[in-house]
A and B are shown apart, each in its own frame.
Chain A
Amino acid sequence: MGFEGIGAAVRRKEDQRFLSGSGHYTDDINRHGQLYAYIRRSDRPHARIIAIDTKAAGAMPGVAAVYTGADMQADNVGGLPCGWQVKNKDGTPMAEPPHPVLAVGKVRHVGDPFAVVVAESRQAAKDAAEKIAVTWEDLPGTASIADALAPGAALVHDDVPGNLCYDWHIGDPAATDAAFAQAARVVKLDLTNNRLIPNAMEPRAAVGDYDRTTGEHTLYTTSQNPHVIRLLMGAFVLHIPESRLRVVAPDVGGGFGSKIYHYAEEAIVTWAAGKLGKPVKWTAERAESFLSDAHGRDHISSAEMALDAEGNFLALRVKTLANMGAYLSTFAPCIPTYLYATLLAGVYKTPVIYAEVKAVFTNTVPVDAYRGAGRPEATYLLERLADVIAHETGIDRVSLRQRNFIPADAFPYQTPVALQYDSGNYQATLDAALKAADWAGFRARRAAAQTKGKLRGIGISTYIEACGIAPSAVVGSLGARAGLYEVANIRVHPTGSVSVFTGAHSHGQGHETTFAQVVSDQLGVPFEQIEIVHGDTEKIPFGMGTYGSRSLAVGGSAMVKAMDKIIAKGKRIAAHLLEASVDDIEFKNGAFSVAGTDKVKTLAEISLAAYVPHNYPINELEPGLEETAFYDPKNFTFPAGCHVAEIEIDPDTGVITVVNFVAVDDVGRVINPMIVEGQVQGGVAQGIGQALLENAVYDGSAQLVTGSMMDYTMPRADDLPSISVGTETTLCTHNPLGVKGCGEVGAIGSPPAIINAVVDALSDYGVRHIDMPASPQKIWSIVRAGRSRAAA
């Protein structure tokens, strides 16, 4: 065994299980006597439910029950709650229309669930569901933000005027206006951030179980945060006390945010299992995933930067319209506000900023956090704007960025949009990325491409994000209805092996490896003797789960706090056994020693003494060696970095090939460089997907056109270049590990780097901006227009 502590590229423990097909996912769970739920979903974008006739369905063979929204209401089932309340400019709360588990009165998007059949087999449930007869009154529907805001637009919720969820702002409008009035120049850019469909490899699934003898409900679900689901579903929807509700999120095959939220199906199976006294299982088909997993992004923005004559950023003004979909998903309101507009300073020292955000209901699948969540939208806006500024002022795009960077000696740095950055060195990541990408040699590569008839472009993005979410009091003051600390319980067993019970949840991130590395490093226990337990509310203390790149920054910090307690207690036991003063005991490499002597007790010896307390300071200390710590972060963490993309265009077809991609990120201390590299590569793949391929398209009547993989383009291996990943480290100053988080940087930094490269490649064709995805058809139109202009 080599070094397996912090900084080692240890192979992922969990991969043995995942790669050999022995992972245990929700759909692998089958309970005795289990029934199957099939959900009828609306195929209409917007319609009034005049009547639902379930009689014929109920009479089908093998059917245990057919339920509608009315049945759930009659049973006092609550609506799906929203976990964040954003306030309007005038201080009034946002519109928060009810979100029934099964639609009542109206359906509001294609995919909206309105009835469920529970039967002995999936097939029987599906057969019966077809027999549910509905009388509809179709209503006009729209997927477009602009149409939903237009005067006289049909209302998604009858009691939400103008389809406006909230009209929010941040920053100083007067100071911004004043700066604009003095500007030497103003550069404007309108842009959209395309709607994405997450598509985790594992579709969502849920199994509800009910034990008549104890009255205990169990929900197995594909979730990133089982305790959050237990809290929301127990308290608001089904009114089950925590002591009677267990939520288990076993192996989960990818989440990317889409498995944070409390979904209707979780409540349906739990409730139906209780009603029927039998386990009930539901597994999404891929087509259902497209229509029911929360989507991501979907912004329309206009931005303008005020500049002085030298290209210094004086003020930024941003107006954004954000699509919420038909209902508020669990954390939807905070994404285009506190995770977006607060990031509009970026890595720049823009002194004043004013941003206005309107959130709008439309007849579409609800939109919520998707890898990056708000921060990719902010980064895309800023980094596209920076390139347009460079283009229009004639200032080199790298120099423009450098000139406006927050300098390395300016930390802690207070931005004009609420955040305080603790540390960073943007010049360092920039320099490393430019070097790795051979920015200086680009001209020659462009010329070489030209001789082959190809247009080559290079693009850069210097980004920042806020993660490690978040100080509970801060987010509470901003409208969060939850605390965002994390918890760890560390149990040192009698012979010195260790179990860690963490509130973070791994759905592909490799926590079983990185967390064990941290514990091995700090406690000196061999890596293979450390077990990481997560995902079961019956086993772990109340934790908040994994999203927003928070697991290590917040969950890891809780682990360190718990280990500190273990070490403190161990020192007292060691002092007793070694007959020394506690102050003289040192802990190093898994052993307690009396300073300056060779008197030593290993952690295993101390632990054995704690569990077999024959010779033990029993009057002062409890037996056992197990500690729990809750860690509430002091601030967000601020990973940042520089991405460089190089692309080639085939002008005859418009096809773009990404020929090189370099990411240099500052993610704070690196626990496992191999896992960081994997996380960044995965994020970049999704970012390239957004920039070039992915787009959720609704038609004019709000039908989802890209409802399957036949039309929705997920990035595949052959769409991607080999992605070079580097790190430059400044430590986070306010958490014990100095870590910042690496889960989202790839998806945040990459889209503007790609689009900047595409625009660069087309610089001779008079193009200023291209909306994502930069599809071959769009590129071909630009090339064609450019060529016909040149010919004219």
Chain B
Amino acid sequence: MYDFTYLKPSTLPEAVSLLSSDTEAKALAGGMTFIPVLKQRLARPTKLVDLAGLGLSGISVAGGKVRIAAMTTHMTVADSPDVQKAIPALAKLAGGIGDKEVRHRGTIGGSLANNDPSACYPSAVLALGATILTNKRIIAADDYFQGMFATALEPDELITAVEFPVPEKAAYMKFPNPASRYAIVGVFVAKFPTGARVAVTGAGQSGVFRHAAMEEALGKSFSPEAVGNVPTDAENLNSDIHASAEYRAHLIGVMARRAVAAAG
């Protein structure tokens, strides 16, 4: 990696001012994505602003919402009895990210800020209709994801927490890339009194997306049969050595059916 200055501020305003005063300064959370990028010399920040001293971790459940602070690790979410009780699908998703080492370092804020098109969390945020809380504003999930590795965040905007509404039921099914174990296809389904939401990660050329046809089908009947035969257009899906767009389209159906079955 190239040389940089390492800074570890202890308040959020301090962190924000470090980032806004230098466009080449970058935030560091768990470093599970960012450190490899630095090691491969694909980025050359002047400063790394470590967010670990800001007190941004923790989980609370109140008023039908689960609030997870940005620096909360995947392991903490997976092991949290509160999350397991309120949204078991979310705890399960977090427990299936990467390996143990990654789960102990990687954070929900880092994952969402990065918005890797094959990451797991984006599907939960979108399917559950969560809101992203930042130092500046509140962003609805539907407005947040803006394509591969692209989000609504401004350069000096930091995620502070994510608030998930508690659904009636939900489940996540991931078909992992055999090598990286990221999602080749991941489908998160959620049922609310107002209807069903379905978000697909890993497959889309512009990252996570909602599956309108499946949502409609599930809105009528929240059952595996209802969703199993809803086709997905392969047109805008990714294709790589592990999975063609067609195969991904097929897997979306299978994962959706299994997710609905798992949601019970």
List residues of B (26-68) whose CB comes within 8 Å of A's CBs.
Answer: 40-41
Given contacts A653-B175, A775-B242, A777-B242, contact A709 B254 (CB under 8 A): no
Q: How far is the CB of B46 from chain A (nearest CB, A)?
A: 16
Partner of B180, one of A652, A705, A710, A776: A710
Q: Are A713 and B178 in contact (CB under 8 A)?
A: yes
A residues within 8 A CB of B40? Answer: 287
Q: Are A706 and B250 in contact (CB under 8 A)?
A: no
Given contacts A652-B254, A653-B251, A780-B250, contact A713 B243 (CB under 8 A): no
B residues within 8 A CB of A187? Answer: none
A residues within 8 A CB of B243? Answer: 777
Given contacts A653-B254, A780-B247, contact A709 B179 (CB under 8 A): yes
* 1/0 contact string of B220-264 vs chain A (CB within 8 Å): 000000000000000000000111100100110010000000000
Complex alpha-carbon distance, A714 and B180, angstroms:
10
Complex alpha-carbon distance, A695 and B177, angstroms:
14
List residues of A (773-788) whose CB comes within 8 Å of B's CBs.
Answer: 775-777, 780-781, 784
B residues within 8 A CB of A287? Answer: 40
Complex alpha-carbon distance, A648 and B226, angstroms:
27
* 1/0 contact string of B1-17 vs chain A (CB within 8 Å): 01100000000000000
Q: Are B180 and A711 in contact (CB under 8 A)?
A: yes
Identify which of A126, A127, A776 gathers the most chain B CB atoms within 10 Å of its CB: A776
Complex alpha-carbon distance, A311 and B24, angstroms:
73
A residues within 8 A CB of B251? Answer: 653
Q: Are A697 and B250 in contact (CB under 8 A)?
A: no
B residues within 8 A CB of A714? Answer: 179
A residues within 8 A CB of B242? Answer: 711, 775, 777
A residues within 8 A CB of B179? Answer: 693, 706, 709-714
Q: Are A697 and B247 in contact (CB under 8 A)?
A: no
Partner of B241, one of A653, A705, A776, A784: A705
B residues within 8 A CB of A775? Answer: 178, 242
Given contacts A653-B175, A711-B180, A777-B247, contact A697 B241 (CB under 8 A): yes
Closest to B3 in A: A123
B residues within 8 A CB of A776? Answer: 178
* 1/0 contact string of A715-732 vs chain B (CB within 8 Å): 000010000000000000
Q: How far is the CB of A620 from chain B (nearest CB, A)?
A: 66
B residues within 8 A CB of A130? Answer: 41
B residues within 8 A CB of A780? Answer: 247, 250
B residues within 8 A CB of A705? Answer: 241
A residues within 8 A CB of B175? Answer: 653
Complex alpha-carbon distance, A709 and B40, angstroms:
14
Closest to A127 in B: B2
A residues within 8 A CB of B177? Answer: 710
Q: How far is the CB of A785 from chain B (nearest CB, A)?
A: 12
Given contacts A712-B179, A713-B179, contact A706 B241 (CB under 8 A): yes
Closest to A715 in B: B178
Q: Are A693 and B178 in contact (CB under 8 A)?
A: yes
Complex alpha-carbon distance, A781 and B243, angstroms:
11
Closest to B39 in A: A285
A residues within 8 A CB of B41? Answer: 126, 130
Q: How far is the CB of B181 from chain A (nearest CB, A)?
A: 9
A residues within 8 A CB of B250? Answer: 780, 784
Complex alpha-carbon distance, A130 and B3, angstroms:
14
B residues within 8 A CB of A123? Answer: 3
List residues of B (50-103) whose CB comes within 8 Å of A's CBs.
Answer: none
Complex alpha-carbon distance, A181 and B100, angstroms:
62
Identify which of B40, B177, B241 gathers the most chain A CB atoms within 10 Å of its CB: B241
Complex alpha-carbon distance, A127 and B251, angstroms:
44
Closest to A776 in B: B178
A residues within 8 A CB of B241? Answer: 695, 697, 705-706, 711
Q: How far is the CB of B145 from chain A (nearest CB, A)?
A: 22
Closest to A126 in B: B41
Complex alpha-carbon distance, A780 and B247, angstroms:
8
* 1/0 contact string of B162-190 vs chain A (CB within 8 Å): 00000000000001011110000000000
B residues within 8 A CB of A712? Answer: 179
Q: How far is the CB of A695 from chain B (nearest CB, A)?
A: 8
List residues of A (271-314) whose CB comes within 8 Å of B's CBs.
Answer: 287
Complex alpha-carbon distance, A536 and B40, angstroms:
35
Complex alpha-carbon distance, A695 and B242, angstroms:
11
Q: Are A709 and B180 in contact (CB under 8 A)?
A: yes
Q: Are A777 and B178 in contact (CB under 8 A)?
A: no
B residues within 8 A CB of A784? Answer: 250
Complex alpha-carbon distance, A775 and B241, angstroms:
10
B residues within 8 A CB of A777? Answer: 242-244, 247
**Given A653-B251, A695-B241, A784-B250; 10 other pairs, CB 8 A cutoff:** A287-B40, A709-B179, A709-B180, A719-B178, A775-B178, A775-B242, A777-B243, A777-B247, A780-B247, A781-B247
Query: Please, could you name 28 A-B residue pairs with CB atoms under 8 Å apart, sorted by A?
Result: A123-B3, A126-B41, A130-B41, A287-B40, A653-B175, A693-B178, A693-B179, A695-B241, A705-B241, A706-B179, A709-B179, A709-B180, A710-B180, A711-B179, A711-B180, A711-B241, A713-B178, A713-B179, A719-B178, A775-B242, A776-B178, A777-B242, A777-B243, A777-B244, A780-B247, A780-B250, A781-B247, A784-B250
* In the A-B complex, the 6 residue pairs with the closest CB atoms: A713-B179, A710-B180, A713-B178, A652-B254, A777-B247, A711-B179
